Structure 1
Amino acid sequence: MPAHTSVDDRRRPPVPVVRAALMLRVSTRAQATAYGLDAQEEAGRAYVSNRPGWTLPPDLIFRDEGVPGTVVDRPGMRELEEAARRGRVDAIVVHNFDRIGRTGEAFWTWIWAMEDLGVVFVSVTQDIDTSTPLGRQQLQSHAMTAEAEWNLVRDRTQAGRRQKALAGGWPCGPAPWGYAIEGRDRRRSVLVVDDGEVSVVLKAVSLIVDEGRSISAAVGELNHLGLLTRSGRPWTVANLHRRLTSQSLLKGEVIFRNPVGTGTNRTKLAMAGLPLHGDSVTIPVPRIISAERARALSDAMEKNGHRAHAAAAVYPLSGRIVGRCGHHYVGAYRNSDDTRYYRCGGGNNGKGRRTGCRDPYLTALDVEESVRAEIVTFLADSEHVEKSAAALIKPFPGDIGKQRERVAGFESALQEKERAVAHAAADLARRPYLDPTVMEAAMRQLKEDVRTASMLLTKGREILARQMEREADAARVMELIATARAGTRELSETEWGDVVALLNVRVRPLGEVRKRSGVKCKVTDWHDRTGILVPDEVLVARWPAVEALMRSFFPRPQFARGAVCIRTQLNGILHRLRTGGLWDELPERYGSWQLVKDRQNTWFKKGFWPVLVGHLNSAGGGTRVRKEAQVPPLDITWHS
């Protein structure tokens, strides 16, 4: 028997089904592993369960662990955006709206991005639902209040730091090398010389100035003596160079909010290039070395050629080659023969004894050419290119077309509200008999509406500018890939570096290459560059003609300085060029390999080698020179 349904039940509209998603975020890892995320999830689940018709699929719970609220591009939000684009989300539940973002840019970027997809936000603790006009108005008020509070805290913090710096105190951050912070937990904290680190500083300076060592040699000596970095890790050339060129060491001062600083923690600058949160402050610190000693250090570092190392700073595969020991290769430079190469970090600075790293040095030119060839082959596949481009070019959240419409709407709304304020002011001026309290309240509300509209327009323009910037970047990516693919022009080193980064290239050497002296064989390179064949072995019957050629070229006879004749040495040279072996692998029948090598280099230096090769090749025969691979087989992968 069917269940009885009343007339009222049949007339009542069905409860709409709302597919909810939870967005959870905490700013620190400590919160993520403690109670923060779990508490948010529990409250969000309870909220959804108490809303009729609402559902929460298990795979629609997104987490951003340890991500500050000032960051826009967050992994969890990106995944949530993708789910919304697939039409799987109707409403996003947050514990509090500051979980979306603590700054206007982070907050409104995601509010509007989801609004473009028809998705609304609800807050568990604030009882705000953006699907209603009242909820949107409450949201605007909350956003303005939250950003004002965040700016106030930031400004107070920055002002306090500057005041501390002006007083000669240490405002924030770790102490420079050779110093320690005294009174860290008190209001007055200052930098003092750290006796433990000073011994390392002075030893490093002595190695450079007094012993005339290069920075690379100084690094090796410091690590050998166990005089390691503050963190207890071995020194690297780049790390020691940064420490030895610091203003605290060379000038006895530190610049707080230095506008020319570098690195991820550099001072934020305004449009004019000045520090965003206040003027720079120079903080004097106790000198570790005298001004005269500092000048001698600077002169010695410039003299030992470290700047030549920096001149070859284009290493597109640095950090992208993974050695068998698990460490990454980094770019390096050798002054002696002007060569760029890559070396495994697992073997640098004496770490090989601990890591067991035996990964070979890789000549930069050779490994980069191998990677470029693979990339060109990859780019020839249209389907792969399209997939890679789609994965690489992540647009700034939101629809740029709808954002343009939104900004245009904000501009019109602001103009309308400004006209309303002007009209109301003129109207009230004609009615002096009205209650002043009522007049003041009316004008205050109108001006607040103008302020809100102005804030929304400002944020809308900022986000539109970011979207347009990302769109321009995407166009550049596609142009760069298209150029590399078509080969219409030669890409510069920097552009190839961009392609490598865009494709997220990863390289893993699969074998070994035999260790060479590092000095290129000029004869091998000459044959390879010119394409001139290496002659066949010189038989006894042809030797009289070769001897006659030698007499015509050299004023003095050529003599062998060993137990073998010149013809045998010549055949040893040709054998090595045909086989691509190392000099010390030359078979014993050719005599001392050192003497054979000297013979070859002398003939080439004096210009006889091309003459001799031309004579020998006139009879026909010959083979291509064999250059042994300078890099092992490589496993090259990329993002696809």
Structure 2
Amino acid sequence: MGKSVTSAIDIAARAIAGRRLRAVDYLRVSTEDQAKGYGIGYTGKRTAAHIARKQWDHVGTFKDEGESGTLPWELREGATEIMELAVQQPRPFDLVCVYETRAIGRKNRVFWEWVWKLQDLGIFVAVVDDDIDNTTEEGEARMRDKANEAFKELAKIRKRTQGGIQEKAELGGFTGGQARYGYRIVNKGQKGEQQLVLDVCDGGEACTRTDPCEAVHEADVLRLARRVAVRVKKNWEQVALYLNAEGFFTRSGKPWSGPNIRGRLMDEDLLNARIVFRDVKNGAQIGPDGNPVWGESVTIALPPMFTPGEVAELRATQGRAYHRSAIPDRVYPLSGRLLSPCGRHYVGSSPTEEESLHYVCSGKRPEYAGAATCSCSQIYAQGVEEWVWGNVCALLSDRDRLLALADEWVGAVAKQQVDYSTRLSSLDQKIAEQSDTIDLMTGVTAKQVTRQGLTGRAAEIAVEKKLQPFFAELEQLQSERADIELWQSEALEADQRAKDLHALAKSAHGRMEKFTKEQQVEWLALLDISVKVLENPPAMRRGIACPIGDWFRERNRAVPTLSEEVWQQIVEAEGFPNGGLVPRQSGGVAPRVVLEVFLRKAVTGASWPVLEAETGSKGLIGHWKRWSKQGRWDRVMEVMKHCDGVPVAPRHRLPKMEMTGKVRPGVILAATSGEAGGQEGHAQESGPWGGAYWT
């Protein structure tokens, strides 16, 4: 925002009848307009001059530079600032001035929802280009006509443009844009003559037999890549490395990556020598009937890149299975929400040879073949998901707090709503009046043509011609009503979703811990949860799991604390000589030390080598095997079943993390886990989030 509006609030407080209108100007230009030289400065001078000419008080300027006019106002910063001030009491301004209607919006609904919302708040809109405003009923009608003309003209231009492109496609020509990789455009600039051909040396001016060209032709690159892919059995990283080593980079000059060359080479359109124009599976705009909006899909044949035999050979080559992939139907609620120390984010994944689920840093995927990757370790999925969701539940355990969040969300939706009912009633009245006018004019016109001596079909044509403007106006009003009725239904759906959120907040209290992964995804999105990993996670455990830790986890038991009294009971039950404090043989380990090591391993998850180094003993795992096989471990745990205990170490350790989130429009949550060490680095064991707060 340029000029401040704050002082205008004081002006409004002193306002009396007959005061000058206070105006702010809204300056929006798209990137395309900027390229043509029509920037913020250009439009700002004209809105300022218009405000001065009308003798309004200029109290503020708001800008959205390089923003598309197809975006609704709540997604544009400058327009949102205007609306946030417009709801204040007393109002800080009376009128918003724009240079032209498209500054407000390039779509019918985008334009009217903003204008109507301001109008509902008692704020007018003025357009410099046509010198119109909606401060009067006549001005409002002119603004509607001008805006509708602009929308119709834009629709005509787009329809005409899309129709021309459709015709090109149906004739098998090039429809515009960049050529597909491996092809180039011939007959550039010749209307209706542009075609795609294979990008190979054609012996032209730049490519002669006596003076070979040095250009890297894309068709040659793809053909080489196919041969290499067959030879290395579709090891795409090897294919990319080979191309990069030979200096055959992508069109943008970057080295190839495995997924990149695989996507190019295994593309079905390339293998079938075609382009599917308006492909419903590839981003074509689809209408309510499921068909492309601007025309039918058209398959355009291209010169084949490979022979049928080469395509068959490539398809038949048995490729390497990808090492990692997400398990089908498994929801990873934290994908994209876990920010890694290297600056990337984690996504849900699982090694094909393991059943464990985890998150892996996207930095593990090389930017191109041979590029360095990050050193972030993978994170055990169940552990981090339980940690995040458990603390979300703890922070939202206060029923009043949870309902307050829902109330604020409902309020934010309500602030964006427009009074559609009043406008529908007004249109209904206008439609009825226009219908009455047509009935009246039909009788009058019929008498006129009769006096002129016209009869039969000639009389009908004359009447229809004279009434055409009246019917066109009626059709326009009915079209506007249909649009507004649709917008109203969509607004009611949004309002209902907000109310459903409130109901969900009421019912969620006390049972959020039982939410499914799908429900967690919804709530994490609602709270805009982001979890930053503050240090490289501990490497995930490989091989056999800790048998002692598994014993406690399977029985859902805490690890008991050994006391002197309980140890004496164990000595008596097991018959340990010398109180169990002396090794039975030289170089061995006393039974008391063995038990203490087992309990420590269960609490910390430390490895056998680490524990042996700490105790200076060897063969601790042998002691465990004997204790468990002989039943001694179960007997000792039976003696200790009534002891106080501490939580068992998790299967996989988690790093120190920081979680933040918010519910728009401004309720913010921030929390940080305990020290990474906690108890041997188990961040999830660091206790409640003492640092968590809401503002």
Q: TM-score, normalised by structure 2?
A: 0.73
The change in CA–CA distance for 1:220 and 1:297 in structure 2 (over 3 A counts) is: same
Against the structure 1 CA distance between its residues 132 and 408, is the aligned structure 2 distance closer, same or farther, given a 3 Å change threshold?
closer
1:252 positional shift: 2.6
Partner of 2:404: 386
Per the TM alignment, residue 366 of structure 1 is displaced from its structure 2 partner at its CA by: 1.9
In 2, Cα distance between equivalents of 1:109 and 1:341 = 45
Identify which of 470, 478, 482 aligns with 1:454: 478
CA contact (8 A) 2:232 2:238 kept: no
> Could you tell me which residue of structure 2 aligns to residue 170 of structure 1?
174
Aligned partner letter, 2:63: R
Report the AA paired with residue 69 of structure 2: G
Name 2:634's counterpart in structure 1.
Answer: 614
Q: Does 1:411 align with 2:428?
A: yes
Q: Which residue of 1 aligns with 2:390?
A: 373
Give the match for residue 661 of structure 2.
638
Partner of 1:5: none
Deviation for aligned residue 1:158: 1.0
Which aligned pairs between 1:90-489 and structure 2 lie closer than 5 A? 90-183=94-187, 185-187=189-191, 188-194=193-199, 196-197=217-218, 201=222, 210-212=231-233, 230-231=251-252, 242-243=263-264, 246-261=267-282, 266-291=283-308, 294=311, 304=321, 309=326, 311=328, 314-349=331-366, 357-381=374-398, 382-383=400-401, 386-387=404-405, 390=408, 394-395=412-413, 399-400=417-418, 402-433=419-450, 443-487=467-511
Mapped to 2, the partners of 1:633 and 1:227 lie a distance apart of: 43
Check 1:492–1:227 CA distance in 2 against 1; reply closer, same or farther (3 A cut).
Answer: farther
Gaps of 5+ in 2: 1-15, 200-215, 453-458, 577-586, 668-695
Residue type of the alignment partner of 1:325: C
The more displaced of 499-508 and 319-328 is 319-328
CA contact (8 A) 1:181 1:192 kept: yes
TM-score where L is the length of structure 1: 0.79
1:471-550 → structure 2 map (5 Å cutoff): 471-487=495-511, 490-519=514-543, 521=545, 523=547, 524-532=549-557
Q: In structure 2, how many angstroms separate the alpha carbons of the residues matched to 1:388 and 1:233? A: 48
Q: Deviations over 1:324-374 (max 9, x none)?
A: 333333333322213333333344317899888443322222222222123
- Cα distance, 1:94 vs structure 2: 0.7
Which letter does structure 1 place at the counterpart of 2:639? A
Specify which of 592, 596, 618 is matched with residue 591 of structure 1.
618
Kindly provide the CA deviation profile for residues 535-570 of structure 1, in whole angstroms up to 9, marking residues without a partner as x. Answer: 899999799889xxxxxxxxxxxxxxxx98998999
Q: Structure 1 residue 147: deviation in Å?
A: 1.6
How many percent of aligned residue pairs carry the same amino acid? 24
CA–CA distance in 2 between the matches of 1:170 and 1:142? 36
Would you say the 8 A contact 1:321–1:506 is kept in 2?
Answer: yes
What SS does structure 2 have at the residue aligned with 1:447?
helix
**What is the one-letter code of the residue matched to 1:148?**
K
- The RMSD of aligned alpha carbons is 4.3
Q: Structure 2: which amino acid aligns with 1:326?
A: G
Report how far residue 14 of structure 1 moved: 7.3
1:474 deviates by: 2.2
Deviations 1:270-323 (A, max 9, x none): 111111111101122344445566566667789826895362663333332323
- Contact between 1:208 and 1:218, CA under 8 Å: does it hold in 2? yes
Structure-2 change in CA distance of 1:280 and 1:482 (3 Å): farther
Equivalent residues of 1:396, 1:467 under 8 A apart: no
State the AA in 1 paired with 2:404: E
- Cα distance change of structure 1 residues 35 and 419 upon mapping to structure 2, 3 Å threshold: closer
Mapped partners of 2:408, 2:265: distance in 1: 44
* 1:328–1:345 Cα contact (<8 Å) kept: yes
Q: CA deviation at 1:176?
A: 4.2
Amino acid in the other structure paired with 1:585:
V
Contact 1:213 1:304 survives alignment (8 Å): no
Query: What is the aligned partner in structure 2 of residue 551 from structure 1?
Result: none
Deviations 1:433-478 (A, max 9, x none): 4569996775233223212312321221232133123223323444
Rounded Cα–Cα distance in structure 2 between residues aligned with 1:215 and 1:480: 48
1: CA distance between counterparts of 2:590 and 2:305?
Answer: 64
| 192-201 vs 131-140, which moves further | 192-201
> Which residue does 1:9 correspond to in 2?
none
> Aligned pair in 2 of structure 1 residues 419, 115: CA closer, same or farther (>3 Å)?
same
Greater per-residue helix proportion: 1
1:162 and 1:278 in contact (8 A); partners too: yes
Cα–Cα, structure 1 residues 282 and 454, in superposed 2: closer, same or farther, change >3 Å?
same
Q: Is the contact between residue 232 and residue 239 of structure 2 (CA under 8 Å) also seen in structure 1?
A: no
Change (3 A) 1:80 1:203: farther
**Match in the other structure for 1:72:** 72
Distance 1:25 1:309 in 2: 43
Equivalent pairs counted in the alignment come to 597
Of the structure 1 ranges 533-542 and 450-459, higher mean CA displacement relative to structure 2 is found in 533-542
Distance of aligned partners of 1:351 and 1:292 in 2 relative to their CA distance in 1, 3 Å threshold: closer
CA drift at 1:161: 1.4
Which is further off, 499-508 or 247-256? 247-256
**Whole-angstrom distance in 2 between the partners of 1:587 and 1:212:** 47
In structure 2, the CA distance between the partners of 1:385 and 1:424, relative to structure 1 (3 Å rule), is same
CA drift of 1:23 comes to 1.4
Deviations 1:188-238 (A, max 9, x none): 443344565556656766676554467688778888998765555677777
Give the letter for the 1:111 counterpart. V
The gaps in structure 1 that reach 5 residues or longer are 1-12, 547-562
